[in-house]
Structure 1
C-alpha cells in the first residue's frame, strides 16, 4: 500500500481527482520548475533524504513538492496557514506518494499538531514559510534538530524571525533567505501579491474598486504591487509608512502619503502588508467610516487588531463567505476579510502560476544548494547565490521566447578594468 495513504492526516482522499486537475493545470504553466524537475530526475540530488515542507498548500506548492520528490526525496508537506490549504490538492499529493499533514481550517491546536507531525518524520532538509517549522524546532521540539542539515525560507516574516535568531546566536542550522532573492521579491512580492490580493478582495466582496479610496499599509515590495494594481483598478490610493525612504518613494510614485490616523478617516478599502502587528488598531477604528473593508496580506493575522475590533462591537456575524461584519456600538459596520489572514490565499488561489514558477524554482535550487554546502555555510542565514538567481531568470526568459544581449570580450575587459577609458 502507498505509505503516504497510511501515514497522512487529510480531510478526504476521495477529493483527489479534482486536486490532480489543479496540479496538472499549474504544471502546464510552470515551465522553469518543469525544467528543474527533469534536471532533478537525472541527478537525484535528494536521494535517500527526507524533506519536510510548510507552505500554503495549494496546487503550485503541490507541484514544488513533486519536483523535490522527483529529485529522490521522501517528502512530507503541511500547510502554513489554516485557511489556505486546499483539501483536494492534499488528497492528490497523497495518491502521488507524498505524506500530507494538512486540512482546511483546522482548530488552532490541531493546526499546530499537524506542523509538529511534519517534523516528527525527522527531515534532513526543510522548506519553511513564516518561520513556523524553525520556531517549533528551536523552542518546543529541539529533540528533532539532530538530522537537519538546513533549509530555505519563503517569506519576509520568516526572514525577520530567522535574522533575529541568527543575531542572538540561536540558529542551529543554515537557512537560505529565498524571499530576499531578486527573482523572488521583484516578481513574486510585487506582481504576484499585487494581482492576487485584488483577486481575493474582488471575488470575495464583488464590489467596485474604481473611484474608491484604498489605503495600503506598508510600501515594501508587496505594498508596491498592491498599490500599483489598486491604481490600475481606478482607486484613489493612499500609502502609510514608518520608513522615510519608502514614504518618499511612494510619494514620487504618485500616491498620497499620510499617517494611518488620517488615512483611517477616508479609506474605503484597507490592505495591510507590513509583517508587523497592530498596524490597524483601536484608535483607527474610532475614526473609520461606516462600511470600511479591512484585509491583510501579511503572513500572520496580527496586522489588523481583531481583539480591539471585537471589543468595540456589539455583534459579529458572517455575511458572505470570508466576510465577517463587525457592528460597532455607534452603529457603524466594518467588514473583515478572511479573518484577517492572507486575503490572497485564504480568499483566493494565491499568486499566479507563472509568478510562482520563478519563486519555487528558487526554492528547489536553494534546497539543493544548502544540502551540498551546509557544512561550509554554517549555522546562519544566507542569501540565494546570485548564480542561482540569474539561472532562474534565464530559464524564465527562454520559456517566454525572449532573447537578450551578451557582453563582448572588449566590454567585459572595460568593465573589469579601472584603467580603461
Structure 2
C-alpha cells in the first residue's frame, strides 16, 4: 500500500479492501479493450509525471479505469460523482493500490462536496469528469485549483451541456473531450448499458415484474431509446414523452405510444426520466397519477422529477424498502420514488455491465491521452473524440470477440473519393 495514498485518503473503512479487490478483478477480467490499452500505457507511459483527478461513479469498472491511467504513469486521485453510487470496499481497494481516494457511500451533502474539492486540491494536470462536477467547481468556486490543468474528458450528456455553455460564454478555462458524444459511447453505453442497468436497478430494488406494466420513458435520446427497447423486451407497454418533434416521430415509428406527460401521467405504472433536464415530472402530474405509481431517474442529477413538489402534496414520507421511499398523498394515494431520484442504475444497482463500460472507459483513456497530446492546439474548446480513436476502440472490441470484418480495397477507396 502506498503510504502517501493511505495517509491522504478519506474513505469509510480500509478493512473492506479484500472484497473490493475481488470486484475489481472480476470487472477487469471482462474488459479486454481496456486491458489492451493498459498494456500500451505501461509501455508508453503517456502520463508520466502528471497528476490526474477522476470524478466518476466509484465502483469496480471505474476503479479499473483509474488503475489503467495509473499504469500510464499518472499520480491518480479519485472521488465519487454521486453519493449513493460510491462503494466503500472499492474505495479501500484503490487506496491499497496507491490511488488517493476522497469518497464515501452516502455522506451528507456538505461532506460530499468537500470530498470533491479535496480531490482537486492535488492540483491536477488532467481530469476525467462526470456531469461536469469537477469543471463546475473549478470555474465557479475554486479557479486557483485549475492552474495546472491541460484538459480533460467528460462522460455525460449533462456534463457536455454545461461545458458547452461555458465555452459559449467564453469562460471555459481548458479543453475537454466530449466522450459522451463518441459513437461507441452513445450507441452502446447510453443505449444498451443504461437500457439494461436501469431495469437491473428497478428489479433488484422492487422485486416487481416489468411485464404487463405501462412504462413511461421520459425522453427519447440515446438513453431513452435503450430504456424503451429493454422495457418492450421485458413485456411492458411503453409510452414515450418528448419535446423534440423528430425524436417523437422516431419513437412512434419504433412502435411506441407518444403523448404529452399530462396524458402519460394518468396511465403509467413506472416512470423513467432520462432527459438531462429538470422538472419533467412535477406537481400537476403527481395529482393525476395512479395509486402505486413508481418514479425512477436514469439522468445525471436528481432534479428530473420534482421531489419538493411531491413532498408538498404528501402527508408523510417513509422508507418502505431499501432505496424505496413512499410519498403518502393527502387523498390517500401512494407514489413511490426509487433511490431518492438519483441514478437508479447506480444508486440502486451496480451500473452498466462490465463489457459495456469496457468500451466507454477505453474512450476515456484514449481521450485523456489525446487531450494531453494536443491541448495547446485544441484551445479552450469542447471537442469530440477523433473518429479514428472511436473506430480503434470498436476494432479492438471486435478482436476480443473473435469477429472479423471486411476492409476496403485500394480501388474501392479511390472510387469513394472520386466523382466520376
Take 2:332 and 2:394, find their aligned partners in 1: how far apart are those partners?
A: 52
Deviations 1:3-54 (A, max 9, x none): 1000000000000000000000000000000000000000000000000000
Take 1:2 and 1:65, find their aligned partners in 2: how far apart are those partners?
A: 18
Take 1:3 and 1:65, find their aligned partners in 2: how far apart are those partners?
A: 17
Take 1:48 and 1:235, find their aligned partners in 2: how far apart are those partners?
A: 52
* Aligned residue number for residue 183 of structure 2: 182
* Aligned residue number for residue 350 of structure 1: 351
* Aligned residue number for residue 390 of structure 2: 389
Q: TM-score, normalised by structure 2?
A: 0.99
* Aligned residue number for residue 246 of structure 1: 247
* Aligned residue number for residue 165 of structure 1: 166
Take 2:211 and 2:47, find their aligned partners in 1: how far apart are those partners?
A: 49
Pairing 1:328-367 to 2, within 5 Å after superposition: 328-367=329-368
Pairing 1:92-111 to 2, within 5 Å after superposition: 92-111=93-112
Q: Answer yes or no: is 1:191 the counterpart of 2:198.
A: no
* Aligned residue number for residue 413 of structure 1: 414
Take 1:45 and 1:411, find their aligned partners in 2: how far apart are those partners?
A: 36
Pairing 1:180-259 to 2, within 5 Å after superposition: 180-259=181-260
2:319 partner SS: strand
* Aligned residue number for residue 154 of structure 1: 155
Take 1:186 and 1:390, find their aligned partners in 2: how far apart are those partners?
A: 13
Cα shift at 1:275: 0.1
Pairing 1:50-69 to 2, within 5 Å after superposition: 50-69=51-70
1:238 partner SS: strand
1:371 partner SS: helix
1:367 partner SS: helix
User: Please, which runs of 5 or more residues in structure 1 have no aligned partner?
Assistant: none
Take 2:145 and 2:257, find their aligned partners in 1: how far apart are those partners?
A: 49
Pairing 1:85-164 to 2, within 5 Å after superposition: 85-164=86-165
Cα shift at 1:410: 1.1
Take 2:213 and 2:368, find their aligned partners in 1: how far apart are those partners?
A: 43
1:317 partner SS: strand
Pairing 1:284-363 to 2, within 5 Å after superposition: 284-363=285-364
2:337 partner SS: strand
Cα shift at 1:309: 0.2
Cα shift at 1:245: 0.2
1:314 partner SS: strand
Take 1:145 and 1:357, find their aligned partners in 2: how far apart are those partners?
A: 29
Q: Answer yes or no: is 1:5 the counterpart of 2:6.
A: yes
Deviations 1:91-114 (A, max 9, x none): 000000000000000000000000
Deviations 1:112-133 (A, max 9, x none): 0000000000000000000010
1:115 partner SS: helix
1:69 partner SS: helix
1:234 partner SS: coil
State the number of aligned residues. 419
Take 2:299 and 2:236, find their aligned partners in 1: how far apart are those partners?
A: 21
Cα shift at 1:185: 0.4
Take 2:60 and 2:367, find their aligned partners in 1: how far apart are those partners?
A: 20
Cα shift at 1:280: 0.6
Take 1:192 and 1:261, find their aligned partners in 2: how far apart are those partners?
A: 29
Cα shift at 1:409: 1.3
Q: TM-score, normalised by structure 1?
A: 0.99
Deviations 1:248-273 (A, max 9, x none): 00000000000000000010000000
User: Please, which runs of 5 or more residues in structure 2 have no aligned partner?
Assistant: none
Take 1:210 and 1:102, find their aligned partners in 2: how far apart are those partners?
A: 37
Cα shift at 1:198: 0.3
Take 1:144 and 1:210, find their aligned partners in 2: how far apart are those partners?
A: 50
